[in-house]
Structure 1
Amino acid sequence: MSDEEPEDDFDNEDQKEEADEKEGEEEEEKEGAEEEEEEEWQHPVSNPLTEEHFKEGLSLLCKTGNGLAHAFVKFEVREKELTDITIIQGFIHLRYVDLSDNLLRDLSPLSCLTHLLWLKVDNNRLTSAAMEELPYLQIASFANNHIKDTTGVNHPRLTSLNLKGNEIEVISGLDPLKLSNLHTLELRSNSLKTTTGLYLPKLKNLYLAQNSISNLEGLEDLTQLTTLHLRDNMLESLDGFSESMKALQYLNLRGNAIAQLDEVAKLQKLPMLRALVLLDNPCSDEGEYRLEVLVVLPRLERLDKDFFEEDERLDAEDVRQRRREEELEMEREREREKELELEGEETPEVTE
């Protein structure tokens, strides 16, 4: 997230917010479609990739590695009900491949595509994202499959990984040494219950909306994280944030179960936090909600979808000053009480 253009960054996150809402609606439709496809899942009809598909789907003529020849480097074949892509092994110069909306379960033939930069295999029947290491792969999307875990992803130049809409319950196997360039991880709409397993110090954007997360754990290694989406989970408290998360600027907690505004004080350990979303939590219904949040988090620029106005900041500063004075007065009162107690103890008893 850029410091120079915060408004644009917030607009981008608003778009992500709208995408989350649409995702929830599509999820209901998807459940109905999955029931209808159950029989076909058990007994799929073989339908391999053919040379005819390549004639239709190849594009983007580029020089090959030695610069002396040319080859098509982009291939797209969608909605063809493909079950087998073995033939793709012969097209070693491919750099951009889109095989979305098919019936694929096996991606092993892609291991021959050592020049691959971009891969999209959304809406297939994959149960794993594990593949042979592809040395130049930078962007990979496995959205809306049946993937059970995050193991086997080990591409050294990978910057963006999309695993949304799968069946992942635990984050594991994401090696920070192998994934040293990974900056965006998309895990929306899975079955996660905790955030443990995220040992990715270079990660900048993390999307965990629409899971079943009730505990925030293992976040201390996310020292470069700037954006964190946790919308529509099961959080009741804000324990788990770490002082090491010094780069976090945008935090979306919409649609959780945070009941007490006092929990917001736990975000004071995030010095760069500029935008916070708390809509659809019980605490957002409390009186003076915006004021109380700003009192606790004076550096905050935006709460939910609205930026703070100058008069709100002045009101919040007045409240902070008044509370500081009240605390000082209470502290003085406690000191006076201690002094009186000590004087009482030191006064000798008068005997007849």
Structure 2
Amino acid sequence: PHQSGLVPAYSAESDSEDEGAEKDEKEGRLTDWVKLTIIDGLSLLCQTGKRLEHAFIKLDLKDKALTDIVAISSYIHIRFLDLSNNYISDLSPLAPMTHLLWLKVDTNSVTSLKGQPLAEFTFLQWLSVASNQLVDIEGLVGPSLETLILSGNSIQKISGLQSADFANLVILELRANQLETTSGFDLPNLRKLYLAQNFIKRLEGLEKLERLITLHLRDNQLETLEGLCSEMKSLQYLNIRGNAIAEGDALRSLRLLTNSLKTLVIAENPIVDTLIYRPSILILLPQLERIDKEIITLKERTEARRAIRDDRAESATHTSL
């Protein structure tokens, strides 16, 4: 017969206590794991500015399956932070890290920059939020930013990129988004702009990019280069490979870059298969040093100069008549 007291009676309260203890134990183990992960990712010991006080200023937490980053908010001296390849959607715990100079948040779940603590990072010079879920750049600020990488998102339109807010920005990458136009870049100090693998059909607003040296437009949908302008007086490298340029007339706007352009990449456009395009381009841009991967030969340059002289002579004859 059953003897009372040898087997504890079942009760919902005791079950709940067991579950609570198990949950606390799991959370404790998780907290310990996060602490150890953070400690393992710390490096680069530097002085903090307070006499002999030192702190780690670099933290690498990429590929850690993190969903939140609350645990790192107390590491206020961090200057270089890599959070790539996690599941992070909220960057607000980073707000106390006002010393940040370099921040990489690639391949996470950030859907918006609005409400994120970017305004707190007054010293941030390098920022990459590539391969997230951004559809716009609302909330983006960066008074000290020099490099900004937003490739691999779903951004459809550029607005708010003004020189007053991004005076130091020199490199901007927006590859593999959903842009249809180049409008929206009011960045006179920008030097390099990468817009490959979008859906760009129109070149607009480029007159504000006065110091731009590199413009990368590979794999878009351009049928013409109308929109290039003389204000782009610093442009040396133009990549329009893999677009839809089919006729020589579509290249006429290249004349406006005569004083600066040194390299033109035009391969994988229909015009390459229908025209002897190198001589035509050299007549428009006799100062070019390279078309695609090929350096301009002395023979090509001589023939282009001869064609230009003949064209001018013919024009003068018609004018006198």
Q: TM-score range by the shorter chain?
A: 0.7 to 0.9
Match of 1:294 in 2: 282
Q: CA shift at 1:147, angstroms? A: 0.8
Match of 2:11 in 1: none
**What is aligned with 1:331?**
319
The answer (yes or no) to whether the contact 1:265–1:296 under 8 Å persists in 2 is: yes
CA contact (8 A) 2:113 2:139 kept: yes
The alignment's TM-score, normalised by the length of structure 1, stands at 0.79
Match of 1:51 in 2: 35
Distance 2:287 2:128 in 1: 36
Contact 1:129 1:142 in 2 (8 A): no
* Structure 1 position 284 matched with structure 2 position 272: yes
CA distance, structure 2, for counterparts of residue 223 and residue 54 of structure 1: 44
Instruction: Flag the 1:116–1:67 CA change in 2: closer, same or farther, 3 A.
Output: farther
CA contact (8 A) 2:207 2:230 kept: yes
Match of 1:104 in 2: 88
Out of 196, 214, 239, which is 2:226 matched to?
239
178, 190, 200: which one aligns with 2:165: 178
Secondary structure at the aligned position of 1:112 is classed as coil
The 5 A counterparts of 1:142-221 are 142-221=129-208
Query: Residues 219-265 of structure 1: CA distance to partner in whole angstroms, max 9, x if unpaired?
Result: 11101100000000001111111211110110000011111122222
Q: Please say which of residues 164-173 and 146-155 is displaced more in the overlay.
A: 146-155
Q: Cα offset for 1:67?
A: 4.3
Which one-letter code corresponds to 2:300 in the other structure? Answer: E
Between 1:175-184 and 1:223-232, the stretch displaced more is 175-184
Task: Give 1:321's aligned amino acid.
Answer: R
Find out whether 1:311 has 2:302 as its counterpart. no
Mark the runs of 5 or more structure 2 residues left unpaired by the alignment: 1-26
Q: Which ranges of structure 1 fall in alignment gaps of 5 or more residues?
A: 1-45, 334-352
The within-5 A match list for 1:69-80 is: 69-80=53-64
Paired positions, count: 288
Query: Which residue does 2:19 correspond to in 1?
Result: none
Q: Distance in 1 between matches of 2:188 and 2:311?
A: 38
Larger radius of gyration: 2
Q: Distance in 1 between matches of 2:240 and 2:51?
A: 50
Which residue does the alignment assign to 2:75? 91
Post-superposition shift, 1:129? 3.3
- Kindly report the root-mean-square deviation, in angstroms, between the aligned alpha carbons of the 2 structures: 1.5
Residue 52 of structure 2: aligned partner: 68
Are residue 258 (structure 1) and residue 245 (structure 2) matched?
yes
> Which residue pairs with 1:129 in the alignment?
113
Q: Structure 1 or 2: larger helix share?
A: 1
Give CA-to-partner distance per residue, 1:148-182, whole Å, 9 cap, x none.
11222212111000000000000112232121000
**C-alpha distance in structure 1 between counterparts of 2:289 and 2:308, whole Å:** 17
